[in-house]
Chains A and B, each alone.
Chain A
Amino acid sequence: MKKPILTLLAWCLCALPIFAQNFNTAYLTTKIDAQKTANSKDILTTLFRASIDNLLGDDRTYTLNSSFLGFHEIINKKKPLPYSVERKLKQNSFNLGLTGDEEHNITKVSGGFTLTIKNDKDITENKIAPEFAKLRSYAAMISPLLREVRSYLVNAHPLLKNDAVKMQEIIGTWNEASRQHDFSILDNEIKKALKSSTLQQRFLDVNKSFSKEEVETLIAAILNGDDILYDEYQHIANVYAKKLLWTVSPSASYDRIHKQGEYLIATNATFGLWKKSAQKPWEFEMKAQFKIANDSTLVQSNYNDKPLSISIGLNKVLLQNQEKESKMEFKFFTQYNLQLGATPSLQEKDVFTLNATLRINVYKSLWLPVTLKYDAAKGNLLGLFTLTANLSK
């Protein structure tokens, strides 16, 4: 039985990079996915998730989770999907899992689904208007501004009027600035034009729908080197990444040792706090889970173990890269476990724990979450290590 376990381990560590090569990233709103926390991607993967729970313990669980979009991309990767269909496939996922003992025997085989009840994190057409109004307004201002810049250049350098190559050389720096999201590289002649009060006044005379403050803000941002359209787009991605995600996950597993089934239903909800803030977001999380399983201390088959678990917590992004993608997260959560089964042989009726999880992005999509559980009543401290690879782009 060692082979299947080792094979699955290799699968978890190798499968995702292979999927990554197959996946056409142009079909996803990758920037919004990138802004989501690792914590929320653990609830609903955007493509694939592979994990090994209880890494240092005897009973490890190996889980592979795939959204239906991820599965579609493997089977039918060359066929582009309409966005509405792509979004539907992204909303639900399925998972397969194996649990092994210290002898590397497979003790449990499990399968289940994660179904979305509400997911506001991914953009839909009908919800887009308010968030995109500002971006649209900036874009509507930039077009006539570029026209005024050209006009200023031709007035300042009349030879430019008949020199398409030179004009494109200068305006080409605007294109490059927009590509690199860095307007500090603009040609000095464009900067000079933008600083000109004549240009600003002409712009306001011709474009009466914009206020002086709006134009001054736009020009100041450009002269400061900011790509205002890109920055606003990133801001929208950040806003969406903080919206509500609520899922329900039914699953079943087969206990090979006791030769009986186990059944589990879980629900997870998470949303970002302080929606206006673009820096290192906080996330609220609520989980509930009910399981029907066997009391393993009894020899005969039974369904006496019926634990209900409820947890509430806060997740905080500690480190981000320049693209504001999360690189390290800390979660503090309380958990209450209540035994609803008639199980005198099981330990306590209820347990209240204080918990903390530190998630560290060790390499690309590979995360190492370390969880510490503290049993407040008994003063016990328990450490759990998990290895997670969560592919979203």
Chain B
Amino acid sequence: MSTITIRGEFLNSDNNWLTLDVYVPNSSGNPYNLTRTYHGSFVEELSGLENDAIYYIDFAGYTTGTVNLTISGEFKLPNPIHETITETGFSRGYTIQTNK
């Protein structure tokens, strides 16, 4: 089993909104579906992920300050994934494959 950590760190603003989606599409054998909404900084530690499996991680939201998004843990390169987004509405999609 693999563990990944997803962090969103909001800086310099009280006006933040973000929705996080972690899922495996069209999966019958290993359904995984996490949808969360945040108004500020968050840390999600997802354990019990299948080894050598592909997961999709999507973000959409806005901030009037800065948000640092980081995905780290037991998955193949590029690892960690990091992005800083400042003062805008945004959407991002990432694809990870957990280690064997």
In the complex, are the beta carbons of B60 and A139 less than 8 A apart? Answer: yes
Q: Which residues of A contact B56 (CB under 8 A)?
A: 147, 150, 167
B14 at the interface (CB under 8 A from A): yes
Instruction: Point out the residue from B14, B60, B88, B93 that lies within 8 Å of A233, measured CB to CB.
Output: B88
Q: How far in angstroms is the closest Cβ of chain A from B25?
A: 5
The interface size bin for chain B is 35 or more
| Known contacts A128-B15, A151-B26, A229-B88: A143-B21 contact under CB 8 Å | yes
B58 at the interface (CB under 8 A from A): yes
| Known contacts A132-B62, A229-B88: A175-B93 contact under CB 8 Å | yes
In the complex, are the beta carbons of A136 and B62 less than 8 A apart? Answer: yes
Q: Name the residue in B11, B23, B64, B86 with the highest tally of chain A Cβ atoms < 10 Å from its Cβ.
A: B64
Q: Which residues of A contact B97 (CB under 8 A)?
A: 164
Q: Which residues of B contact A30 (CB under 8 A)?
A: 87
Q: How far in angstroms is the closest Cβ of chain A from B73?
A: 15
In the complex, are the beta carbons of A83 and B14 less than 8 A apart? Answer: yes
A383 at the interface (CB under 8 A from B): no
Binds B, one of A42-50, A154-162, A296-304: A154-162
**What is the number of residues of chain A that contact chain B, defined by CB distance less than 8 Å?**
44
In the complex, are the beta carbons of B13 and A146 less than 8 A apart? Answer: no
Instruction: Point out the residue from B11, B12, B54 that lies within 8 Å of A167, measured CB to CB.
Output: B54
In the complex, are the beta carbons of B64 and A139 less than 8 A apart? Answer: no
In the complex, are the beta carbons of B90 and A229 less than 8 A apart? Answer: yes
In the complex, are the beta carbons of B89 and A232 less than 8 A apart? Answer: yes
In the complex, are the beta carbons of B21 and A27 less than 8 A apart? Answer: no
A168 at the interface (CB under 8 A from B): yes
In the complex, are the beta carbons of A138 and B89 less than 8 A apart? Answer: yes
In the complex, are the beta carbons of B11 and A80 less than 8 A apart? Answer: yes
Q: Which residues of A contact B87 (CB under 8 A)?
A: 29-31, 233
| Known contacts A83-B65, A143-B19, A164-B97: A230-B92 contact under CB 8 Å | no
Instruction: Knowing that A146-B60, A229-B62 touch, tell me 17 more A-B residue pairs with CB under 8 angstroms.
Output: A26-B12, A30-B87, A83-B14, A125-B14, A125-B15, A128-B15, A132-B62, A136-B17, A136-B62, A147-B25, A151-B26, A161-B54, A167-B54, A175-B92, A181-B88, A229-B60, A233-B88
| Residues of A in contact with B (beta carbons under 8 Å apart) | 26-27, 29-32, 80, 83-84, 86, 123, 125, 128, 132, 135-136, 138-140, 142-144, 146-147, 150-151, 154-155, 161-162, 164, 167-168, 171, 174-175, 178, 181, 227-230, 232-233
Show 13 A/B contacts (Cβ-Cβ < 8 Å), sorted by A. Answer: A26-B86, A29-B64, A136-B17, A143-B58, A146-B93, A151-B25, A162-B54, A164-B97, A168-B95, A174-B93, A175-B93, A181-B88, A228-B89
